[in-house]
Structure 1
């Protein structure tokens, strides 16, 4: 399967420390690839390089085999849409206006949206269950409602690749399930960071596990999410059971065996990278 997005030896250094260390990863067309790992493992930093909010120290991000830095920012924005953890909507725009901003990379001058683009915005709002909020100010909405609006804005960009950094943040259980179900059947190419390993196992075609900036393991969720890996990387004991309907791995955590002391990066990285 041909890769749409490739990370090649991606390294990001700050204050003499590698936040991401020689990360190589491929995302094929139509695949959902999830980045998982403890806090500070480099997930968000890697994603920032993909949507060009951060320039890597070395290595490259390739889209269709071409280095993203060889493209203009507007060209990149037509191909890659992002939902970031730092997304803010502090201006007093209506929901409809915020969603329409997704067409900005495609706009020429100050021309109004076409009939097709207006229909695209309506469809995205309906998919994310925010159409009934179209005329509301985003400043009056809950965190979960804003999250769904920003995802709708990203969809309106019609990207080749959708980059999502913790897309289920602030969402209640129903909207988490609806969002991930939509991604599964959408056919979109998605690179996402997720904290919840059970959600990652359900939605992702492949999972890449990061620890201290390094790739520890990548592959099918059933291959990657083993009790040994979860213990080494996340420092918890878990029993892995198949989901009764999908067969995907689900983790049952044993709280009585939860560690009480701090872990060091060496605890997780001792496993070494493999794919």
Structure 2
């Protein structure tokens, strides 16, 4: 399902956190949002999953305004993994993953055989089967992050938005998660700080600064030494990945940039 942000603007106390942002993610694409701290990435995601209402602009999913949809229908279409996503009650891992089916159920309806299979498959894909009966409050930050990703997959959304999903994950699980996102049929909008991970995982990248979009395109088009110096204030040499040919950044600390 196509996701389109059109002229999206969010202002708080007169300051534009997001300023006329227009960005499109085609059906099944993985689109990354990158930019310095405070550039509006998380704010843009909050508009997509409904936590914030922009003062102007629209968020369209398959051509429909998400704000016009009933909450349950929106939850069926869009799954969100936020920076502050947490589980405060000590449910088991399997119970938390199963909560992804909530938008599709009524009341205390039991999971169907198919839904139970979805839960087990998601836990297998996120390397969680051995933790199925553990309480989530006993898990490490990285393990808990994988639980929340599994919950999002069980939701069977058409659009997945993730805000820094690789936080707390070791390098193996970072790579596995991003590979998994590329393998879903969902449209993915993901905020990443690691530009090399973004280059490897994303079909296209949007670069934000001061709430505005300053560049958008394929990783090869966007991640240039000039842009990295201008937006991130660091010097970087861009070299091709030896296997994929995609751009990889080698950073140099340079106070003069």
Normalising TM by the smaller chain, what interval?
over 0.9
Is 2:133 the partner of 1:135? yes
| Separation in 2, partners of 1:56, 1:187 | 28
| Separation in 2, partners of 1:212, 1:128 | 35
| Separation in 2, partners of 1:90, 1:185 | 30
Whether the 8 Å contact between 2:207 and 2:214 is mirrored in structure 1 is: yes
Q: Equivalent residue for 1:272?
A: none
| Separation in 1, partners of 2:129, 2:21 | 39
Q: How much has 1:152 moved relative to structure 2? A: 0.1
Q: 2:59 aligns with which of 58, 61, 64?
A: 61
Q: Equivalent residue for 2:220?
A: 222
Whether the 8 Å contact between 2:78 and 2:160 is mirrored in structure 1 is: yes
| Separation in 2, partners of 1:137, 1:246 | 40
Q: How much has 1:259 moved relative to structure 2? A: 5.3
| Separation in 1, partners of 2:77, 2:222 | 30
Q: Equivalent residue for 2:103?
A: 105
Q: Which runs of 5+ in 1 are unaligned?
A: 261-275
Q: How much has 1:186 moved relative to structure 2? A: 2.5
Q: How much has 1:258 moved relative to structure 2? A: 3.8
SS in 2 for 1:120: helix
Q: Equivalent residue for 1:35?
A: 33
| Separation in 2, partners of 1:117, 1:214 | 41
Cα deviation 1:164-197 (Å, max 9, x = unaligned): 1001000000000111111222232100000000
Identify which range, 181-190 or 141-150, moves more after superposition. 181-190
The aligned length equals 257
Is 2:152 the partner of 1:157? no
Q: How much has 1:82 moved relative to structure 2? A: 0.5
Q: Moved runs in structure 1, 4+ residues, more than 3 A?
A: none
1:1-275 equivalence runs, <5 A: 4-255=2-253, 257-258=254-255
Q: How much has 1:113 moved relative to structure 2? A: 0.4
Q: Which runs of 5+ in 2 are unaligned?
A: none
RMSD over aligned Cα atoms = 1.0
Q: How much has 1:108 moved relative to structure 2? A: 1.5
Q: How much has 1:209 moved relative to structure 2? A: 0.1
SS in 2 for 1:253: strand
